Amino acid sequence: MIVCVCVCVCVCVCVQGPALEKAVSAFRCVCGEDGVSLGEAVRQQHGRDESVHRCCPPDVVVFPRCVEEVSALAKICHRYDLPIIPFGTGTGLEGGVSALNGGVCFSLRNMDQVLDLHQEDFDVTVEPGVTRKALNAHLRHTGLWFPVDPGADASLCGMAATSASGTNAVRYGTMRENVLNLEVVLADGTVVHTAGKGRRPRKTSAGYNLTNLFVGSEGTLGIITKTTLRLYGIPEATVSAVCSFPSVQAAVDSTVQVLQAGVPIARIEFLDDVMIDACNRYNSLSYPVTPTLFLEFHGTESSLDEQISTTEEISGANGGSDFQWARDAETRERLWKARHDAWYAALALRPGCPLVGHVGDGNFHCLTVLDPSDSDEVQRVHLFTERLARRALAMDGTCTGEHGVGLGKRALLCEEMGPMTMEVMRSLKHTLDPKNLMNPGKIL
């Protein structure tokens, strides 16, 4: 067996005794027999995500159907001092759903309604069970779409909780730039609206930015039960391209120059030669096994011609060649398949350490493939990933461009933020969650 990693060690502690029994009985009064599960398979399913971190199942899983039920369930947990772990689709990569101290997993899949769509104002409000693909399917006939695309079909509230990003971030930003308001249930069951109930301003200077306090909080401050999102007009025309380069430096130089030229590129993604080879094998493709850029342009037909011309000229000057262009949706989807399947292609590769990145916004992933039964190799990979993250910090960057902190990057977060900033974070956590019930053991 081989896996792609961040490596971390954790200890799981289960809640036992009459407190849990009383709580389970109260849970059933709130959301019915079908809304509560003690089954081992269900608990195991809700104790892991797609990361390497080992499964830490909760003691019980609840399935609320509305914010009122979430609030009532949280009040019960608060009464009996039970940890609360929110669960969306389980597509995270940092162990954020692991129940390190046991407790109660709030699976939010039954809250799956698109609630308020305001086409003229380019915004929508959704519940936590709505995924990005489901939202865009709902919007298909409106001329609007939501562009933040982390690859997986993640839940939108989960994407807000982890401050998700993706291939379109270079043009449309990350979740931080695209969340207008959040409804959040705090640890004691209190329901708050971070920008005011029902508010959806395009911009505001009213008070503290509580919305972005909860974006990226990874379930440690509260349970996000609604999110109001910015929408965008579907571009009149879209063109995708793949271009090969003689070296990593040539591909990076081309990217920098395209951005410096002011080309409003929608996506510009980098895969190194090892990753391209893995994708070729995984998807039976035939791209040249060299450092490669995947690009996409959005706009009018006339504006695309100018974007393409400028990009081709810059890429050619940096040794770019073997351009493959695609305009229709089906061909574009095939062209991008290699990039979207990079995680799974890396899982299927041995040996090699592929590199893939959202190069347009300075974020890359080094997918290290290892044998987890080889303790020496696990230790070497752990040391390597720490050294890599510290190199990013030394260059004034961050230890986590996306996916969040979760379990594996808590020590690195301390190095990045410094002791005073970490103390402010702990103070905020203590104010909102003095019993430390919300997803304990994550971030801090």
Q: Does residue 428 fall inside a structural domain? A: no
- Write down the H helix ranges in 162-235: 169-172, 175-178, 210-214
Q: Does residue 146 fall inside a structural domain? A: yes
pLDDT in tens, 392-431: 888 888 877 777 788 778 888 888 999 999 999 999 999 9
Q: What share of the chain is helix, strand, coil (3-state, %, to 5)?
A: 40, 20, 40
Closest by CA position to 131, among listed 112, 105, 107: 112
Q: Does residue 80 fall inside a structural domain? A: yes
Where a domain ends, among 107, 138, 168? 107
Residues 266 and 171 placed together within one structural domain of the fold: no
Q: Is the pLDDT of residue 439 over 60?
A: yes
Residues 291 and 314 placed together within one structural domain of the fold: yes
Give me the mean pLDDT over the 238-247 stretch: 94
Residues 359 and 248 placed together within one structural domain of the fold: yes
Q: Quickly state the pLDDT bin for 110 (edges 50, 70, 90).
A: very high
Q: Does residue 193 fall inside a structural domain? A: yes
Where a domain ends, among 107, 130, 163? 107
- pLDDT at res. 388: 84
CATH number at residue 140: 3.30.465.10
Range of the domain at 216: 114-233
> Given phi > 0 = left and psi -120 to 50 = alpha, else beta, which region is 352?
left
Residues 216, 159: contact at Cβ < 8 Å?
no
146-150, 184-188, 399-403: lowest mean pLDDT where?
Answer: 399-403
Tell me the percentage of the chain whose pLDDT exceeds 70.
Answer: 92
Residues 36 and 57 placed together within one structural domain of the fold: yes
- pLDDT at res. 313: 94
77-86, 205-214, 296-305, 323-332: lowest mean pLDDT where?
Answer: 323-332
Residues 228 and 185 placed together within one structural domain of the fold: yes
Give me the mean pLDDT over the 317-340 stretch: 86
| Residue 199: strand, helix, or coil | coil
Domain count, the chain: 3
Residues 228 and 241 placed together within one structural domain of the fold: no
pLDDT in tens, 10-34: 444 455 578 899 999 999 999 999 9
Residues 162, 96: contact at Cβ < 8 Å?
yes
Q: How far is CA 378 from the centre of its chain?
A: 25
- pLDDT at res. 111: 98
| Residue 440: strand, helix, or coil | coil
Where a domain ends, among 88, 107, 126? 107
Q: Quickly state the pLDDT bin for 279 (edges 50, 70, 90).
A: confident
Residues 228, 291: contact at Cβ < 8 Å?
no
Q: How far is CA 202 from the centre of its chain?
A: 23
- pLDDT at res. 14: 52
CATH number at residue 363: 3.30.70.2190
Q: Residue 419, Cβ neighbours under 10 Å: how many? A: 7
Residues 121 and 63 placed together within one structural domain of the fold: no
132-146, 221-235, 288-302, 340-354: lowest mean pLDDT where?
Answer: 340-354
CATH number at residue 95: 3.30.43.10
Residues 204 and 254 placed together within one structural domain of the fold: no
Residues 208 and 290 placed together within one structural domain of the fold: no
Residues 222 and 128 placed together within one structural domain of the fold: yes
Q: Does residue 402 fall inside a structural domain? A: no
Q: Does residue 42 fall inside a structural domain? A: yes
DSSP state of 207: S
Average per-residue pLDDT in the chain? Answer: 88
Residues 227 and 263 placed together within one structural domain of the fold: no
pLDDT in tens, 25-70: 999 999 999 999 999 999 999 998 877 777 899 999 999 999 999 9
pLDDT in tens, 378-395: 888 888 888 888 888 888
Q: Does residue 246 fall inside a structural domain? A: yes
Residues 135 and 120 placed together within one structural domain of the fold: yes
CA distance 336 to 309: 21
- pLDDT at res. 342: 77
231-245, 290-304, 357-371: lowest mean pLDDT where?
Answer: 357-371
Q: Does residue 310 fall inside a structural domain? A: yes
